[in-house]
Amino acid sequence: MNSMNPVDQYRNLWAVLLVSTVLLTGGCSSFFGNMFEPAPVEVNTSGDEIEMTRDAMEYFNNGRYLLAEELFQQVRDRYPFSPQATLAELRLADCKYYKLLYEEAIPLYQEFEKLHPNNEAIPYVIFMEGSCYYELMDTADRDQENTHRMIDTYDRLLNRYPDSPFTYEATKRIKEGRDLLAEHELIVARWYARTDQQKQSVNRLNLLLALYPDTKWVDDARELLASESSTLSTEDQREEERVRRILEPWYMKLWPF
């Protein structure tokens, strides 16, 4: 017969459960991790530039960007004047991008464009630089520096290469970025309105309507502008009208009525 009282049995049960949990989440996790993770691979850097580039591209196409990056780096450093080095420079930037290291990829794309301005891959390079900024964009209530840079980069792509394969996606992302910038201005204007800074709110709303008239936030901006403008003093209304005319698109100033 088991003479252990219920309290001791309960404590022993919890001790067993605790040990089991430690084993499963600690030592055993390393065992199962080692069983399912691919074994470490030592890349072969003893070949010539063609062999290393071939191996690097195989790694790259299979999504093994860390191994590909190591070989591309070797090719670029050891054979800087070979055609393979040019490819390696581009793929080094791509490896950073696909590893989600966008801030590290940007200067590599920029450097490639600077060193090889006439390379046939330049439309792709500009698109990928813009894509880095696109991935770095923040929500509308945060700083929009990367949104501005994304739009500027894609605009440069569209101006230089209007018929590139990347035109459709770049155009779509520019529209998305402009919507985000308009929303940011609206958020700032609403904050000014909540804190009884009507003049600043009106100025931001006029800026939104002048810069982003084709975005989905225009109706909301006009509604808030009407509300905020009604609370301005006569002097502030004159100032608001002057600012609005300055911001007004040039083609509207030529309109006869």
Tens of pLDDT, residues 22-36: 333 344 433 333 333
Report the SS3 class of residue 16.
helix
pLDDT confidence band for 181 (50 / 70 / 90):
very high
| 48-56 own/partner pairs: CB under 8 Å, 24+ apart | 49/75, 49/78, 49/79, 49/82, 49/84, 49/85, 50/84, 52/84, 53/84, 53/87, 53/88, 56/88, 56/91
Q: Does 100 map to a domain?
A: yes
CA distance 170 to 163: 11
Domains in the chain: how many in total?
A: 1
What's residue 79's pLDDT? 95
Q: Does 256 map to a domain?
A: no
CA distance 174 to 179: 9
What's residue 27's pLDDT? 42
Q: Does 56 map to a domain?
A: yes
**∠114-78-49 over CA atoms, to 5°?**
95
Tens of pLDDT along 194-247? 998 988 999 999 999 999 999 999 999 999 999 988 876 544 555 555 555 555
pLDDT confidence band for 120 (50 / 70 / 90):
very high
DSSP string, 114-175: HH-TT-TTHHHHHHHHHHHHHHH---TTS--HHHHHHHHHHHHHHHH-TTSTTHHHHHHHHH
Average pLDDT of the residues in 40-48: 66
Q: Does 58 map to a domain?
A: yes
Average pLDDT of the residues in 121-141: 98
CA distance 104 to 132: 9
Cβ proximity of 49 and 79 under 8 Å: yes
* Residue whose structure tokens are 């100033």: 253
Axis-axis angle for helices 122-136, 145-160 (nearest 10): 160
| Domain of 79, in residue numbers | 46-116
CA distance 131 to 169: 10
Q: Does 19 map to a domain?
A: no
CATH number where 93 lies: 1.25.40.10
Task: Kindly state the percentage of the chain with pLDDT values over 70.
Answer: 72
Q: Does 128 map to a domain?
A: no
Q: Does 99 map to a domain?
A: yes
Cβ proximity of 221 and 186 under 8 Å: yes
CA distance 250 to 257: 14
Instruction: Say which DSSP state 80 is in.
Output: T
Q: Does 74 map to a domain?
A: yes
